Structures are given as C-alpha cells and as structure tokens.
Chains A and B, each alone.
Chain A
Amino acid sequence: MSTLADTLERLETTRLATAISESTWAFPTIETVHVLAITLVVGSIAMVDLRLLGLSLRRRPIAELLVEVLPWTWTSFVVAVASGALLFASAATHYWGTAPFRAKMLLLALAGANMLVFHLAVQRRLPAAAAGDDSRGGPGAAAKLCGAISLCLWIGIVGCGRWIGFV
C-alpha cells in the first residue's frame, strides 16, 4: 500500500498538479471542460441507450445511429478522462480516499464492461429487422438490457461525480 500512497503523493506534487491546486482559476476552468465533456458523453450514450430500449428514434437503424453518434462519444470521453486526470492529480491522495471517487471508478469499469458485452456479443446478433425500423421487430431483450444497464450506470457515474465535490 505504501507504494500506492507514494505514487499518489508523487503525482500531486508534480509541477503540473501543484500549479492546478495553487491557481485560483485552473481548477474551475478544467472542471468546466470536464462537465462539458461529460454532458456530451452522457447525452450521446443516452441517445443510443434510449434507442436500444425502444424509447426514442425507433425509426432509425441502430447501426446507423452508432456510426453517427459514437465518434462524438469517444472524442468527448477522451476529453473527460484527460480533464478528470488533471483534476485528480491536483489532490490525488484526497480523491483516492473518498468513497464517491472509488464508486465512480467502479461504475465506469462496469459501464466499460457492459459496452464490451454489447459490441462484442449483442450487437452482431441484433435481429435483422432491428437494423432498421422497429415496427418490424425491436432489438431484442439482450440489447434492451444493455441499454438499461448503461443508462443506470451513467446516471450513477454523474451522481458519484457530483458527490465527490461534497466530501
């Protein structure tokens, strides 16, 4: 454990990390970028999830929606991770020790696993009908389940993220 504590301490005493924690404007500015990136990540993922659940965009082929939306999701996810890493570095030991930070990382890992299951197993077995119009049959139970799990996990991730600021 001491090596982990050392690593965290080394991280938060880097010049970049101390510059962020000592500046009055750096943290809020990076945090604003983080929030903007998250709105794009969560909003675009929610579009896909709601489509899988059959709650919106039912006339749009799922494959087409994925191609159109996911590049925006990934781009903003990279921005969210980079800005989040900077925020984390500014007080690494503190964040690591808080429950909501750990919960958020756990939920993120679960969301990643759920995404892998969807892309590797569920997506390729989508019924042909669901590739187009839902009036000819929906995407099926497995896809719906992935959508529901994803939606819940991302709501949880935003919740934990906001909670970090209160401890």
Chain B
Amino acid sequence: MKALIHWLGNTELSTLIKTVTWIIPGVQVIHILAISVVVASMGMLDLRLLGWAGKRHSIAEYASRFLPWLWGALLVLLASGSILIIGEPERSLGNLVFQLKMALLLTAVAVTLGFRGLLVRDLSAGASDLRPEHGLAAKIVGGVSLCLWVGIVTAGRWIAYAG
C-alpha cells in the first residue's frame, strides 16, 4: 500500500491535480452532488422497503425507479473519488476511516445486489412484486442499507479529521 501511495503521489496526473487549485474543491462538489443523488434515491427505496413511505407503490416499481439513479451516481462517485485519491493518495488510501468507508460501500453494493437478485427472481417466477415471504428480508435490507449509507457519508466527511 505504501508503495502504491508513493507511486500514485508522484505521477504527473497527481501533481496536476494538486497544483491546479480548483480541481480538488471542484471535484469534491461533484462528489457531494452525486452522493445527494444516492442518499435521496436509496433513502426513498429503503423507506419503502421498511414500509415507512410510498406504500401505495409496489417495491418493484420503486426499485426500477430508483436503482438506475444509484448505479449512475455510483459511476460519478467512482470517477470523482478516483481523481481525489490520485490527487491525495496519502490522505485517502493510507487513512483508516477511508478504508472503513470502502468496506461499508462494498457491503452496501453487495446488499443492494442481493436484494435486486431476490426481486428479479420473484418477478421472473411470475410474481407481480417481491413475494410476501420476502417481506422481512426486504425490511432488513432497507434498514441495513439506510445505516450503511449514513455510515458512508459520515466516514467520508471524517476522512478530513481522523484516521
């Protein structure tokens, strides 16, 4: 990891990102806007899974409405996050809070994909929505996902202060 940080920090791209003063703040703004999209759309979906909002609509409808925004915004986050990492590899890769954030992120993606798999299986087996026997699983996914995204944003902000 140390070698990677050292190598990244000495690339021309890294120097460019560090020396042009507006790149890091500008990219951070894009990063925050994209996380807004994730938190709002996953918030809607998770609250629906928990049964706390949007109960007039089916889970399938909510998933097809909001999951594309998650994947799109995740791409933007990955791209903008990569630029920030290349610019300041020591601040991010070498930071324990950053590593925690990545672990939470991978868990959130895995949980979401797991839920999506369950839904797709139910739908392709002829159900009109997530099967009622998967209701508890949906609630757990909603609660866990909500906590994970709050944790990801929290860890993201704390990279600047701790680790």
A19-76 with Cβ < 8 A to chain B: 28, 31-32, 35-36, 38-40, 42-44, 46-47, 57, 68, 72
Q: State the main secondary structure of chain B at its contact with A.
A: helix
Interface-side segment among A114-122, A131-139, A154-162: A154-162
A163 CB-CB contact with B under 8 Å: yes
Q: Mark B145-163, 1 if CB is under 8 A from A, else 0.
A: 0000010011001101110
Q: State the main secondary structure of chain A at its contact with B.
A: helix
A39 touches B40 (CB 8 A): yes
Q: How many residues of A contact B (CB 8 A)?
A: 22
Decide: A46 near B40, CB < 8 A? Known: A28-B158, A35-B32, A158-B33: yes
| Total A-B Cβ pairs within 8 A | 64
Decide: A42 near B36, CB < 8 A? Known: A32-B158, A68-B54, A72-B43: yes
Decide: A31 near B157, CB < 8 A? Known: A46-B40, A68-B53, A162-B29: yes
Q: Mark B17-43, 1 if CB is under 8 A from A, else 0.
A: 000000001001100110111111101
Question: Residues on B close to A: CB < 8 A?
Answer: 25, 28-29, 32-33, 35-41, 43, 53-54, 65, 150, 153-154, 157-158, 160-162
